[in-house]
Amino acid sequence: MVGTTLERLDRIANALGVQMSDLMPPPDVAEKSDLEVGFRGRGLSEQEIKRVLEFIELVEKARPE
């Protein structure tokens, strides 16, 4: 996951009702479109995928350049 702590990731997973590992794409996934495919492969619903991708976008926007 981009720029987050394990504690925060655990809280997000709990809020979504999924395992923390469900939020982590396979190691070979690099592109955002690939992230979506990776999350589908882990059984996340469309709504869960949307939430995770929105969170990633927020984290990326908050990162200093």
State pLDDT tens for residues 3-55.
567 788 888 888 888 888 777 766 555 556 667 777 777 777 888 888 888 88
Token pair belonging to 31: 């592109």
**Count of structural domains within the chain:** 1
In a domain, 1, yes or no: no
How confident is the model at residue 23, as a pLDDT?
Answer: 77
In a domain, 46, yes or no: yes
Q: Tokens 């469900």 belong to which residue?
A: 22
In a domain, 10, yes or no: yes
Cα Rg for the chain, rounded, in angstroms? 11
How confident is the model at residue 1, as a pLDDT?
Answer: 41
Task: Using alpha carbons, list the distances in angstroms from residue 14 to 4, 9, 48, 63.
Answer: 15, 9, 12, 24
Boundaries of domain holding 39: 6-62
In a domain, 18, yes or no: yes
How confident is the model at residue 26, as a pLDDT?
Answer: 62
Identify the DSSP state of 1: -
How confident is the model at residue 40, as a pLDDT?
Answer: 73
